[in-house]
Chains A and B, each alone.
Chain A
């Protein structure tokens, strides 16, 4: 074999491997969408039908009109959106304040606070489920979306602060100092100088918070019992447990839940890596 053919063979091998990995990653998602648009005859068959030969939107229409667990899927998407957006709004304010503190000031307890952030991120949320359930019940927030918002803020805040602090630290301090010299107050400096420059980072952090809250399952399962207050994940799982044969409807509902997340995700995936692996990857 000449070096040239060897190189060519190597290239073909690499690209074949890439295509195989691509298929492994994408096929399940593709199959979900494809099933959502197939007729029942094409779904309930032992044959392999790669794509809907006669695409139908009957399943999508059904989850909207007849609904899932007694309500139209709009209801659950709305509940999920309320929880996710509420979490994002509160989380953004809180994490921006804390991130500014750790990125802009040197103070006693700063290192301890940062280490605390790392540790609490690792505490399994499932372990906090029992005490938080009792706390939410005693606070009268059981069965209410606001209770879920509060819990989601707590679950997402440590990572939010951790991620946002690098964005705050990246803004050159000299800009704020210039504003101070010009006689701007501390608040004006924050609002007119720091905030606009940190805004892209705040958007990225908020998208992560949104995705986490939108996907959250365990707490939504335990803190909500009224079907009208179900979020998407809980409604989906209820759908599966009640009518596990309606795969067309289940896949249509799953698609509706997944698509917004994938779009958001593609926007911010790079920051996800840097936020989690932190300094271990030296860019």
Chain B
């Protein structure tokens, strides 16, 4: 849904969009107010076309500067969640602002907005601009009178100097490729760092939580990320399975082979993405390297079909949640970007993509 809506032009700026899935936040990348709801509220919307809401607070996450080569939107959003915590956005809608955000493509913006929920915010939004309008032009459900629609959509952006209940400012240049080490998305570090020692954390609650997480994940404080070997690699999910994500991963993989210790798969985000990837020959790049190339679906993001981890299996995943058992009971999930997942599949362990040998 979160791949198909935007790609068909169903998702448009200014819409209010709800769906029975928390990653509905993805659609905020097009300037819609989009959030997840439960089954009873879905029923309510179908019956009445409305939902009663209290006005949320506004949280501005402003990102100055730009992302360095090899650093992606996925790394940026993991970095932000690491900074503001899994409840930093609770009670709020996040608006992502700043030049670093403006530079992102639509698919990159979707990756960022998608994971707003992992920071506790029901919704995450990016004001529509020329990038948005160019993306929507010509799509299946884009308005017939497109220019009139653009004129309306241009009115939606937040006024300059407007009041946000809270603002946090970051610099894109500070972001390095990220890897989660624990059992929630905020338990994350740069790939060039080490798993934290629980004793070094400030509060007793954080120490307990980290100790529990490390026990589940089979890791120790001080262990370097690049020394951690992997069993599985999953490239897919509504966070990172669009054509740009597949191109990014294919570029890393081209001319290399998946490590013999790793079983890796790529699951495109929709039938349309799959067909486009095949038209570009990306499927062949993945197959030649030893990846499984699959039909579109949610797959191993949440393990509701047979694509699951076994107990103790460690996976580099481009999905959005590393909770205990998320990908399979006892499974150990590390969240990364598509290029980082691809590199890990080749080397068999986490690898800093910034030093990668591309066979372009």
Do A and B pair up? The answer is no
Instruction: List residues of chain B with CB under 8 Å of any chain A CB.
Output: none
Which residues of A are in contact with B by a Cβ distance under 8 Å? none
